Amino acid sequence: MRSVTHSTQPIEGQKPGTSGLRKKTPVFMRPHYLENFVQSIFDTVGARGKTFVLGGDGRYFNDRAAQVILKMAAANGVARMIVGQGALLSTPAASHLIRLNETDGGIILSASHNPGGPTEDFGVKFNMPNGGPAPEAVTEAMFARTREIAEYRILEGAEVDLSAPGRVTLGAMQVDVVDPVADYAALMESLFDFEAIRALVKSGFTMRFDGMCAVTGPYAHEILERRLGMAEGTVVQGAPLPDFGGHHPDPNPTWAHALMEEMMGPKAPDFGAASDGDGDRNMIVGRGIYVSPSDSLAVLAANAHLAPAYKGGLKGVARSMPTSCAVDRVAKALRIEAYETPTGWKFFGNLLDAGRATLCGEESFGTGSDHVREKDGLWAVLLWLNILAVRKASVAEILHDHWKTYGRNYYSRHDFEALDTHAAEEMMSRLKASIPTLPGTEIEGLAILSADDFAYHDPVDGSVARAQGVRVRFTDGSRIVLRLSGTGTEGATLRLYLERYEPDPSRHDLDPQEALGPVIRAAHALAGIREQIGRDRPNVIT
Ligand code: G1P
Ligand code: ZN
């Protein structure tokens, strides 16, 4: 086997976004595209003598990309690669393997919840030795490298057989092919009271888990059906497919509508959940009741002590800025710190590493803890199951009880997708320019208390992330946030986040869209959404 050096040229636009580099699959498959980016990763973090984890969500091109990366790792002098069997690893499982084996980081192949296939999306992301996504300083360095790259190194010759666990070599590099599920399942068993959940299942408790034809299926079959004794068939769409069965592997009421229909129907099981392409997101549904991710985070924070791993209490909680403030109320009652970070899991890493936060969450169906450095879909499902098993109450009872104690933060996110990039940016700049004039004024009957473009000062390393979204607060506690997505691959996506607090229990059963009516109208008036981007209505409401 021979290591060869190919000359190459910088390729435009290899800038990692909210979560790694994401592009249309045909773009990633262009000559040198993947190679340039991977070489830039190795040039930035170093390769010689190092150990990395490698795996992905199984989407189209996952297998071929993994082979390219292995050959490049070997040619760059990497000592050892730990690879999921079939090049599969869920994102949280990859994060765990990086930490468990004390490696130098890992490369995750995924575009998360974006569809997969020859004309859909692909992505590559680097995670640090702590198991978390590379922080901005590192991704910026990688991007800088892609702009000056002149050559990449790759081994010529045979591919690595990833079809079964075992140890092989590629040139001088050791390749350990591992069962993608085993270590992760053991970690889950160490965190939660599986005995109590098994007893709940024996008592007749039923569940539906929708794997959305993505990577979580094998994990859910093993943990829910085999280890926890749930009936076979509990997990549906459990086989990972390269095109996710043609679906959008995004666990929200729009894309997981089959699960939603079942849970709202007459034959609903007690509990329902779904996960996304790479297994880090989760949607939670009770019989007849949907749990918004912001509420889920708050309920988990209030009840985490019921699970063995968190019985000593939480050190603190953190939520992304657009996530509802429901968890802040729990933190206040628990007398722990509540941190507010920019969108993207990478901003939680320092807080988790420093032991300042135990639980983190985002409104975008992401919840996790300090057990790994990624959000973790099945982890959230298991913590819910552990809580249900201990409290012996239904999801609806737990949620209503929570709102009674803390009040309800009505919440919704409206997405306006595939916008003209220029128009969307123009709208945001106008809005930003108007910020200083807003406080003290009234819009649609709501009085504005404050407005800013969110900047985050990391309390651990002192770094500052600016321009993370416009937030407007009203005197009645309502809030709107506007930002442009950093994960899209086509045009721009405007995300509009809406929140209103309701302390009165007699008003806790409203339709969120109705409860938020005035806030929605205020947001449209404030940003001039129709005038600026030509849209009256969002494409996706969560
Ligand atoms: C979206 C979500 C964000 C999440 C990210 C990766 O990013 O909004 O919370 O961390 O996906 O899963 P966005 O497209 O908004 O930049
Ligand atoms: Zn994901």
Domains of the chain and any CATH numbers: 2-179 (3.40.120.10), 184-406 (3.40.120.10), 408-541 (3.30.310.50)
pLDDT, residue 376, reads 98
Residue ranges of E strands in 161-211? 166-170, 173-178, 207-210
Average pLDDT over residues 378-397: 98
| Coil, strand or helix at 197 | helix
- Band of pLDDT at residue 233, cut at 50, 70 and 90: very high
Burial 448-468 (b: 16+ CB within 10 A, else e): bbebebbebebeeeeeebeeb
How many other β-carbons are positioned within 10 Å of the β-carbon of residue 64? 14
Distance 343 CA to ligand 1 centre (A): 6
**pLDDT tens digits, residue range 141-166?**
999 999 999 999 999 988 999 999 99
Radius of gyration of the chain (CA): 23
Q: Residue 356: is its pLDDT beyond 80?
A: yes
Catalytic residue selected from 112, 296, 478, 485 = 112
To the query of whether residue 292 is one of the catalytic residues in this protein, the response is no
Phi, psi of 312 (to 5 degrees): -80, 0
User: Which ligand 1 atom is nearest residue 488's CA?
Assistant: 14
**pLDDT tens digits, residue range 421-438?**
999 999 999 999 999 999
Q: Which residues surround ligand 2, an ion (CB under 5 A)?
A: 112, 276, 278, 280-281
Angle, CA of 165, 123 and 467, to the nearest 5°: 135
Token pair of 150 as six digits? 């002149």
Contacts for 255 with CB less than 8 Å, ≥ 6 apart: 113, 212, 247, 248, 249
Are 444 and 522 in contact by the 8 Å Cβ rule? The answer is: yes
The span from the CA of 244 to the CA of 366, in Å, is 20
Average pLDDT over residues 3-11: 96
Question: Could you give the C-alpha distances from 81 to 61, 124, 348, in angstroms and in order?
Answer: 19, 16, 26
The span from the CA of 147 to the CA of 44, in Å, is 13
User: Which ligand 1 atom is nearest residue 487's CA?
Assistant: 14
pLDDT, residue 136, reads 86
Nearest CA residue ID for atom 13, ligand 1? 485
- Band of pLDDT at residue 67, cut at 50, 70 and 90: very high
User: Which ligand 1 atom is nearest residue 17's CA?
Assistant: 16
Token pair of 20 as six digits? 């790694």
- Band of pLDDT at residue 486, cut at 50, 70 and 90: confident
Q: Look over the chain and give the mean of its residue pLDDT values, rounded to a whole number.
A: 96
Query: Which of 137 and 74 is assigned the larger pLDDT?
Result: 74
The span from the CA of 497 to the CA of 495, in Å, is 6
Pocket test for ligand 1, best of 18, 21, 376, 482 (most atoms within 8 A of CB): 18
Q: Residue 1: is its pLDDT beyond 90?
A: no
Phi, psi of 151 (to 5 degrees): -155, 160
Give the binding-site residues of ligand 1, using a 6 Å CB cut-off. Answer: 18-19, 112, 320, 343-345, 362, 364, 366, 485-487, 495
Pocket test for ligand 1, best of 487, 496, 542 (most atoms within 8 A of CB): 487
pLDDT, residue 321, reads 98
User: Which ligand 1 atom is nearest residue 322's CA?
Assistant: 9
Ligand number nearest to the C-alpha of 279:
2
pLDDT, residue 157, reads 85
Are 22 and 120 in contact by the 8 Å Cβ rule? The answer is: no
Are 112 and 281 in contact by the 8 Å Cβ rule? The answer is: yes
- Band of pLDDT at residue 23, cut at 50, 70 and 90: very high
